[in-house]
Amino acid sequence: MITLLVLEIRPPHDTRSLLHGLAALWPSYLAYVLAFLLIEQVRANHHIMFDHIRSADRVVLFLNTVLLMDVAFLPFAASVLAETFRDGHGQLTAVVLFGAAFELLAILFNVVWWHVRRDRRLLTATIDSAGVAAISRRFLLALVWLAIGTLLGALLPVLGLVVIAAFILYYWLPIAGEIPAAKRRRHRGHPT
- pLDDT single digits (tens) 147-190: 999 999 999 999 999 999 888 887 777 776 666 554 555 555 55
Query: What is d(CA 6, CA 150) in angstroms, rounded to the nearest whole number?
Result: 24
CATH, residue 83 = 1.20.140
Say how many domains are in the chain: 1
| This prediction's pTM | 0.80
The torsion angles phi and psi of 125, rounded to 5 degrees, stand at -80, -5
Q: Give the three-class secondary structure for 55.
A: coil
- Residue 9 in any domain: the answer is no
- Residue 38 in any domain: the answer is yes
Domain that holds residue 88: 26-187
Query: What is d(CA 148, CA 152) in angstroms, rounded to the nearest whole number?
Result: 6
Cβ(140)–Cβ(111) below 8 Å: no
The torsion angles phi and psi of 7, rounded to 5 degrees, stand at -70, -20
Over 50: is that where the pLDDT of 102 sits?
Answer: yes
Query: What is d(CA 89, CA 106) in angstroms, rounded to the nearest whole number?
Result: 28
Percent of the chain with pLDDT over 70: 85
- Residue 144 in any domain: the answer is yes
Q: Give the three-class secondary structure for 123.
A: strand
